[in-house]
Structure 1
């Protein structure tokens, strides 16, 4: 019985990791980085550069 529980837990962990990798790859194909949800310094610099006229 404990073998089945361990296999289920392991499958859940591997499945979740696979899902996260899938999401990261899908986002990177759209041109977004993993940190696009956060307001980091690099994102602020990029936004300021886009606002500035050339």
Structure 2
């Protein structure tokens, strides 16, 4: 029983990791980085430079 639980936990962990990798690859093909959902410093600086250029 304990072996089954361990295998199940490992399957969930590897499944979730695979899903995250799939999402990152899918976004990178669209030209977006993985951090596009977050409001990081690099994104703020990019937005400021775009506003200044206009």
Class of the TM-score when normalised by the shorter of the 2 chains: 0.7 to 0.9
Which aligned segments of 4 or more residues in structure 1 are displaced greater than 6 angstroms?
none
Q: Which residue of 2 aligns with 1:48?
A: 48
Q: Which residue of 2 aligns with 1:10?
A: 10
Larger helix percent:
2
Ranges in structure 2 where 5+ consecutive residues have no aligned partner: none
Ranges in structure 1 where 5+ consecutive residues have no aligned partner: none
How far off its partner does 1:53 sit? 4.0
TM-score, normalised on structure 1?
0.80
TM-score, normalised on structure 2?
0.80
